[in-house]
């Protein structure tokens, strides 16, 4: 099979506002302080001319120091961000597990949020109903599934989000630091499930700071540094390249 994802010369910029006071605060302070409150717009390039392909059945680890563009890359893949330059081609359905609690409504129950989260990802009610028992069972949240998710711990939110993504039969799954939250037992369970899906020819993209996970489970590794792709190759060499970033 061919590539399921193609990143072609992708760049992503952001403009951020730094300094200055809000309009209300400015008017409140102005009579007492003659200094001007000037907000500065800062331009930051997060990804620079990034190109790579993901083949069907790839298990790719994405590594790099904090703030180098890993999460931004995943959000572009998930369709949350649009690149400023370049093109992305996606051939297949995607299920992302990104920011903690994303896609959940805190006033709704866990059960209701399964349908909400799946609908946001583009899956219909009939498809969710076929998988609902497996989702709840895997999440180990049977006793809390009818509680509002505002009462869930971060670990419980991860369990639910991961379970939804892994039981919707998406061809491409995206995980952003998903294994850094929750207890060790569930982390191992997640890895087993991800490996099982990968053996069934699902493509997996995992952002992680754990070189041992990449070496053990991934067949490829991408390493980002200062927004550029500095390595794209086998997992063990990629994990070694990542370690080298820290001297």
Each of the 247 residues of the chain gets a pLDDT tens digit; together they read 579 999 999 999 998 776 655 555 555 656 656 555 566 678 889 999 999 999 999 999 999 999 999 999 999 999 999 999 999 999 999 999 887 667 899 999 999 999 999 998 888 899 999 999 999 999 999 999 999 999 999 889 989 999 999 998 899 999 988 766 667 888 888 889 999 999 999 999 999 999 999 999 999 999 999 999 999 999 999 999 999 999 7
- What pLDDT is attached to residue 25? 58
pLDDT of the residue at 20: 59
Domain span at residue 168?
Answer: 56-244
The answer to whether position 47 is within a domain reads no
Instruction: For residue 237, tell me if it sits in a domain.
Output: yes
Number of domains making up the chain: 1
Is there a domain that residue 38 lies in? no
Q: What's this model's pTM, rounded to 2 decimal places? A: 0.84
Token representation of residue 5: 């994802």
In a domain, 140, yes or no: yes
CATH code where residue 85 lies:
3.40.50.300
Is 27 among the domain residues?
Answer: no
What pLDDT, on a 0 to 100 scale, did the predictor assign at position 198?
A: 94
Give the residue from 184, 142, 136 showing the smallest Cα distance to 162. Answer: 136
């Amino acid at each position: 099979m061919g590539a399921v994802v193609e990143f072609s010369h992708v760049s992503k910029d952001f403009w951020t506002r730094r300094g200055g006071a809000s309009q209300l605060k400015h008017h409140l302070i102005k009579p007492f302080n003659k200094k001007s409150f000037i907000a500065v717009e800062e331009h930051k390039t997060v990804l620079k001319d990034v190109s790579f392909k993901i083949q069907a059945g790839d298990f790719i680890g994405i590594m790099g120091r904090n703030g180098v563009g890993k999460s931004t890359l995943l959000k572009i893949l998930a369709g949350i961000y649009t690149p400023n330059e370049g093109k992305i081609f996606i051939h297949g359905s995607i299920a992302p597990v990104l920011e903690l609690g994303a896609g959940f409504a805190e006033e709704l129950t866990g059960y209701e949020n399964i349908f909400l989260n799946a609908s946001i990802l583009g899956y219909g009610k009939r498809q969710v109903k076929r998988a609902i028992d497996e989702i709840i069972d895997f999440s180990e949240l049977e006793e809390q599934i009818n509680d509002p998710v505002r009462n869930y711990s971060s670990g419980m939110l991860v369990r639910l989000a991961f379970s939804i993504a892994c039981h919707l039969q998406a061809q491409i799954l995206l995980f952003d630091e998903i294994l850094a939250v929750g207890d060790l037992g569930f982390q191992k369970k997640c890895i087993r499930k991800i490996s099982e899906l990968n053996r069934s020819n699902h493509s997996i993209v995992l952002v992680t700071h754990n070189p041992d996970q990449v070496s053990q489970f991934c067949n490829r590794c991408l390493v980002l540094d200062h927004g550029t792709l500095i390595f794209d190759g086998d997992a063990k060499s990629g994990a070694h390249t990542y370690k080298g970033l820290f001297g």
